[in-house]
Amino acid sequence: MIKFFAKYKRFGIVLAGLSVVILYLFYNALQPKVTLPVYQPADFNPELVDSTITHVKKYHTIADFSLVNQNGETVTQEDYKDKIYVADFFFTTCPTICPIMTKNMADIQKEILNDEEVLLLSHSVTPDIDSVAQLKKYAKKKGVLDYKWNLVTGDKKQIYELARKSYLAVKSDGDGGPYDMIHTENFILVDKERRIRGTYDGTNPEEIKELLKDLKILKASYQN
Protein backbone atom coordinates (compact mmCIF):
# COMPACT_ATOMS: atom_id res chain seq x y z
CA MET A 1 0.00 0.00 0.00
CA ILE A 2 2.84 2.37 0.89
CA LYS A 3 4.52 1.62 -2.44
CA PHE A 4 1.25 2.40 -4.24
CA PHE A 5 0.95 5.85 -2.67
CA ALA A 6 4.65 6.56 -3.22
CA LYS A 7 4.23 5.69 -6.89
CA TYR A 8 1.42 8.20 -7.41
CA LYS A 9 2.67 10.88 -5.02
CA ARG A 10 4.13 13.06 -7.80
CA PHE A 11 0.94 12.72 -9.83
CA GLY A 12 -1.11 13.82 -6.83
CA ILE A 13 1.07 16.89 -6.26
CA VAL A 14 0.76 17.92 -9.92
CA LEU A 15 -3.01 17.39 -9.82
CA ALA A 16 -3.32 19.50 -6.68
CA GLY A 17 -1.26 22.25 -8.25
CA LEU A 18 -3.43 22.27 -11.37
CA SER A 19 -6.53 22.42 -9.21
CA VAL A 20 -5.23 25.54 -7.43
CA VAL A 21 -4.44 27.22 -10.76
CA ILE A 22 -7.89 26.39 -12.18
CA LEU A 23 -9.65 27.68 -9.07
CA TYR A 24 -7.60 30.90 -9.24
CA LEU A 25 -8.49 31.43 -12.90
CA PHE A 26 -12.17 30.83 -12.20
CA TYR A 27 -12.05 33.26 -9.29
CA ASN A 28 -10.47 36.00 -11.42
CA ALA A 29 -12.92 35.40 -14.24
CA LEU A 30 -15.85 35.90 -11.87
CA GLN A 31 -14.49 39.16 -10.43
CA PRO A 32 -16.04 42.35 -11.87
CA LYS A 33 -13.64 44.37 -14.00
CA VAL A 34 -12.54 47.62 -12.37
CA THR A 35 -12.95 50.58 -14.72
CA LEU A 36 -12.70 54.34 -14.38
CA PRO A 37 -15.64 56.62 -15.13
CA VAL A 38 -15.57 58.98 -18.10
CA TYR A 39 -16.22 62.43 -16.68
CA GLN A 40 -18.40 64.97 -18.43
CA PRO A 41 -18.99 68.69 -17.71
CA ALA A 42 -22.34 67.84 -16.14
CA ASP A 43 -20.51 65.67 -13.55
CA PHE A 44 -18.50 68.61 -12.19
CA ASN A 45 -19.28 71.44 -9.82
CA PRO A 46 -20.83 74.06 -12.14
CA GLU A 47 -18.41 76.63 -10.72
CA LEU A 48 -15.57 74.73 -12.41
CA VAL A 49 -17.21 74.64 -15.82
CA ASP A 50 -17.83 77.32 -18.41
CA SER A 51 -21.54 78.12 -18.56
CA THR A 52 -21.66 77.19 -22.24
CA ILE A 53 -20.95 73.51 -21.51
CA THR A 54 -22.40 72.80 -18.05
CA HIS A 55 -25.23 70.86 -19.70
CA VAL A 56 -22.95 68.47 -21.60
CA LYS A 57 -23.44 64.87 -20.45
CA LYS A 58 -21.44 62.95 -23.08
CA TYR A 59 -18.79 63.18 -25.77
CA HIS A 60 -16.68 65.78 -23.95
CA THR A 61 -13.01 65.72 -25.00
CA ILE A 62 -9.96 67.94 -24.62
CA ALA A 63 -9.91 70.54 -27.40
CA ASP A 64 -7.16 70.84 -30.00
CA PHE A 65 -4.28 73.03 -28.89
CA SER A 66 -1.01 74.48 -30.15
CA LEU A 67 1.50 75.69 -27.56
CA VAL A 68 5.28 75.96 -27.17
CA ASN A 69 7.37 73.87 -24.77
CA GLN A 70 10.57 74.44 -22.80
CA ASN A 71 12.66 73.71 -25.90
CA GLY A 72 10.85 76.17 -28.13
CA GLU A 73 9.07 73.34 -29.95
CA THR A 74 5.42 73.49 -30.93
CA VAL A 75 3.34 70.97 -28.98
CA THR A 76 -0.12 69.97 -30.17
CA GLN A 77 -2.67 67.26 -29.45
CA GLU A 78 -0.87 65.15 -32.07
CA ASP A 79 2.10 64.80 -29.70
CA TYR A 80 -0.31 63.15 -27.26
CA LYS A 81 -2.14 61.01 -29.77
CA ASP A 82 -2.76 57.48 -28.46
CA LYS A 83 -1.21 58.46 -25.13
CA ILE A 84 -2.52 58.61 -21.60
CA TYR A 85 -1.39 61.78 -19.90
CA VAL A 86 -1.58 63.84 -16.72
CA ALA A 87 -2.17 67.58 -17.13
CA ASP A 88 -1.93 70.50 -14.74
CA PHE A 89 -1.66 74.32 -14.60
CA PHE A 90 1.18 76.17 -12.88
CA PHE A 91 3.55 79.13 -13.12
CA THR A 92 7.27 79.22 -12.51
CA THR A 93 7.26 82.11 -10.03
CA CYS A 94 4.53 80.64 -7.83
CA PRO A 95 5.73 80.51 -4.19
CA THR A 96 2.83 78.51 -2.76
CA ILE A 97 1.27 75.36 -4.22
CA CYS A 98 3.21 75.09 -7.49
CA PRO A 99 6.49 73.84 -5.97
CA ILE A 100 4.54 71.07 -4.24
CA MET A 101 2.64 70.23 -7.42
CA THR A 102 5.83 70.17 -9.48
CA LYS A 103 7.53 67.87 -6.96
CA ASN A 104 4.55 65.51 -7.07
CA MET A 105 4.48 65.61 -10.86
CA ALA A 106 8.20 64.77 -10.82
CA ASP A 107 7.38 61.77 -8.60
CA ILE A 108 4.82 60.65 -11.19
CA GLN A 109 7.49 61.10 -13.86
CA LYS A 110 9.70 58.62 -11.98
CA GLU A 111 6.88 56.08 -11.97
CA ILE A 112 6.29 56.35 -15.74
CA LEU A 113 9.92 56.74 -16.78
CA ASN A 114 9.97 53.69 -19.04
CA ASP A 115 6.28 53.68 -19.92
CA GLU A 116 5.82 54.74 -23.53
CA GLU A 117 2.03 55.01 -23.09
CA VAL A 118 2.08 57.82 -20.52
CA LEU A 119 3.17 61.48 -20.73
CA LEU A 120 2.86 64.67 -18.67
CA LEU A 121 1.70 68.16 -19.69
CA SER A 122 1.98 71.33 -17.58
CA HIS A 123 0.46 74.61 -18.79
CA SER A 124 1.79 77.98 -17.61
CA VAL A 125 -0.98 80.32 -16.45
CA THR A 126 1.37 83.31 -16.72
CA PRO A 127 2.60 82.82 -20.30
CA ASP A 128 3.72 86.45 -20.59
CA ILE A 129 6.23 85.79 -17.81
CA ASP A 130 7.01 82.16 -18.58
CA SER A 131 9.01 82.47 -21.77
CA VAL A 132 10.71 79.48 -23.37
CA ALA A 133 13.96 80.43 -21.61
CA GLN A 134 12.18 80.69 -18.25
CA LEU A 135 10.50 77.31 -18.75
CA LYS A 136 13.83 75.73 -19.73
CA LYS A 137 15.50 77.07 -16.60
CA TYR A 138 12.63 75.79 -14.47
CA ALA A 139 12.65 72.41 -16.22
CA LYS A 140 16.35 71.90 -15.51
CA LYS A 141 15.91 72.90 -11.88
CA LYS A 142 12.97 70.55 -11.34
CA GLY A 143 14.34 67.52 -13.19
CA VAL A 144 11.91 67.62 -16.10
CA LEU A 145 12.71 65.04 -18.79
CA ASP A 146 11.90 66.37 -22.24
CA TYR A 147 10.68 63.06 -23.63
CA LYS A 148 8.17 62.58 -20.78
CA TRP A 149 7.05 66.03 -19.75
CA ASN A 150 6.21 69.22 -21.64
CA LEU A 151 6.00 72.56 -19.87
CA VAL A 152 4.06 74.78 -22.26
CA THR A 153 3.48 78.47 -22.78
CA GLY A 154 1.65 80.36 -25.48
CA ASP A 155 -1.53 82.32 -26.08
CA LYS A 156 -3.06 83.19 -22.72
CA LYS A 157 -6.64 83.04 -23.95
CA GLN A 158 -6.09 79.55 -25.35
CA ILE A 159 -4.56 78.28 -22.11
CA TYR A 160 -7.35 79.73 -20.01
CA GLU A 161 -10.02 78.27 -22.29
CA LEU A 162 -8.33 74.88 -22.07
CA ALA A 163 -8.38 75.10 -18.27
CA ARG A 164 -12.05 76.00 -18.05
CA LYS A 165 -13.66 74.47 -21.14
CA SER A 166 -11.54 71.36 -21.68
CA TYR A 167 -9.93 70.28 -18.40
CA LEU A 168 -12.72 71.69 -16.20
CA ALA A 169 -10.11 72.67 -13.67
CA VAL A 170 -10.75 76.22 -12.44
CA LYS A 171 -13.50 78.36 -10.94
CA SER A 172 -12.58 81.55 -12.80
CA ASP A 173 -11.62 82.36 -16.37
CA GLY A 174 -9.94 85.64 -15.37
CA ASP A 175 -11.12 89.18 -15.96
CA GLY A 176 -8.94 89.83 -18.98
CA GLY A 177 -6.79 92.42 -17.24
CA PRO A 178 -3.00 92.41 -17.25
CA TYR A 179 -2.80 90.86 -13.78
CA ASP A 180 -5.63 88.36 -13.93
CA MET A 181 -4.69 84.77 -13.30
CA ILE A 182 -6.37 81.43 -12.90
CA HIS A 183 -4.83 78.89 -10.58
CA THR A 184 -5.73 75.33 -9.69
CA GLU A 185 -4.15 72.48 -7.75
CA ASN A 186 -5.87 69.87 -9.89
CA PHE A 187 -4.07 67.11 -11.78
CA ILE A 188 -6.21 65.74 -14.59
CA LEU A 189 -5.93 62.18 -15.92
CA VAL A 190 -6.70 62.04 -19.65
CA ASP A 191 -7.13 58.87 -21.69
CA LYS A 192 -6.10 58.03 -25.26
CA GLU A 193 -9.41 59.35 -26.55
CA ARG A 194 -8.76 62.72 -24.87
CA ARG A 195 -11.44 62.12 -22.23
CA ILE A 196 -11.16 63.04 -18.54
CA ARG A 197 -10.90 59.93 -16.38
CA GLY A 198 -10.02 61.49 -13.04
CA THR A 199 -9.09 64.68 -11.17
CA TYR A 200 -6.80 64.82 -8.13
CA ASP A 201 -5.43 67.36 -5.69
CA GLY A 202 -1.85 67.75 -6.90
CA THR A 203 -0.70 68.91 -3.45
CA ASN A 204 -2.03 65.85 -1.61
CA PRO A 205 0.29 62.79 -1.46
CA GLU A 206 -2.65 60.45 -0.85
CA GLU A 207 -4.39 61.66 -4.00
CA ILE A 208 -1.17 61.21 -5.98
CA LYS A 209 -1.20 57.58 -4.85
CA GLU A 210 -4.81 57.36 -6.01
CA LEU A 211 -3.83 58.84 -9.37
CA LEU A 212 -1.09 56.25 -9.85
CA LYS A 213 -3.51 53.49 -8.91
CA ASP A 214 -6.09 54.80 -11.40
CA LEU A 215 -3.39 55.09 -14.03
CA LYS A 216 -2.74 51.36 -13.75
CA ILE A 217 -6.46 50.64 -14.05
CA LEU A 218 -6.69 52.84 -17.13
CA LYS A 219 -3.67 51.19 -18.75
CA ALA A 220 -5.12 47.76 -18.06
CA SER A 221 -8.37 48.74 -19.78
CA TYR A 222 -6.47 49.08 -23.05
CA GLN A 223 -4.94 45.64 -22.69
CA ASN A 224 -8.24 43.78 -22.29
Say if residue 162's pLDDT is above 70. yes
pLDDT for 27 = 45
- Write the pLDDT tens digit of every residue in 133-142: 999 999 999 9
Distance between CA 31 and CA 151 in Å, rounded?
40
User: Is 55 marked as a binding-site residue?
Assistant: no
Handedness of CA 85, 222, 57, 43 (dihedral sign): negative
- Write the pLDDT tens digit of every residue in 46-80: 888 888 998 899 999 999 999 999 999 999 999 99
Say if residue 154's pLDDT is above 50. yes
C-alpha dihedral over 163, 166, 171, 176, to 10 degrees?
50
Say if residue 198's pLDDT is above 90. yes
Say if residue 4's pLDDT is above 70. no
**Contact (Cβ atoms closer than 8 angstroms) between residue 130 and residue 92:** yes
Per-chain mean pLDDT for the chain: 87
H helix count then E strand count, the chain: 6, 7
Q: What is the mean pLDDT of residues 145-170?
A: 95
Q: Which of 65, 67, 66, 71 is nearest to 132 (CA)?
A: 71
pLDDT for 48 = 80
What's the DSSP call for residue 24?
H
Q: Which of 85, 84, 91, 66 is nearest to 76 (CA)?
A: 66
